[in-house]
Structure 1
């Protein structure tokens, strides 16, 4: 059977770097993407063959830490129906003492279980936490789902 397109969704939390959103270690987690991929149109023979691709982007500003033992970082976590399925950390280089600006992009994939597919919608959420302090500029999250093995 050929590939079956199921759904594509986007969440655009901010379209610009200004005004920026400052986060600290006490202001987390910050959710900047929440999408529900529809799976009601999946063919019965494709229920166990669903694949999801998730993409996120966030402009980061990381300032120098006032403590030599703290290296500022941003941890991005993606959840499927509330369960973490992907996590990655962007850490400022420990030897870099000035403020840095980074464009952080990530791609994650998921093979959701048949029970989630049969529910008709799979909810994906992304959030960010920090151990020190970061500023978020433009940020977005998107996902698409297909089924089949063609």
Structure 2
């Protein structure tokens, strides 16, 4: 069977860098993306052949540190129906001693179980935390689901 397009969703938290969202080490995880990919239309022969591509973008303003032993970072986590499926940490270069502006682009993939596909909706969320100080500028999250095999 050919590849079956299932769904595509976007979550746009901010289209611009200002005003930003300021995060500190004591901040709760900031959720900037939440999408529900609908899977009700998957053909029965493709239930176990679903694949998802997730993309996120965030502009980061990394703070100056008062303590040289602390290197500011931003940790991004992606959840499927409340289960952690991906985590990565963007770290400011240790040699950078001034304020920096960075672009974080993330691509993650997922292979949901047949049971999750049969539920008809798969919820994906992305959040960010920091160990020091980060201001989030423009940020977005999107996902595409397909099924089938071309072999």
Q: Classify the TM-score, shorter chain.
A: over 0.9
Cα displacement (A) at 1:28 = 2.0
Residues 1-150 of structure 1: matches in 2 within 5 Å? 1-150=1-150
How many residues align structurally? 150
SS state at 1:77 partner? strand
Cα displacement (A) at 1:63 = 1.4
* Moved >3 Å (runs of 4+): none
After TM superposition, the score normalised by the length of structure 2 is 0.98
After TM superposition, the score normalised by the length of structure 1 is 0.99
CA distance in 2: counterparts of 1:28 and 1:89, whole angstroms: 16
Q: Which runs of 5+ in 2 are unaligned?
A: none
Q: Which runs of 5+ in 1 are unaligned?
A: none
- CA-based RMSD of the aligned residues comes to 0.5
SS state at 2:135 partner? strand
CA distance in 1: counterparts of 2:28 and 2:140, whole angstroms: 17
Cα displacement (A) at 1:19 = 0.7
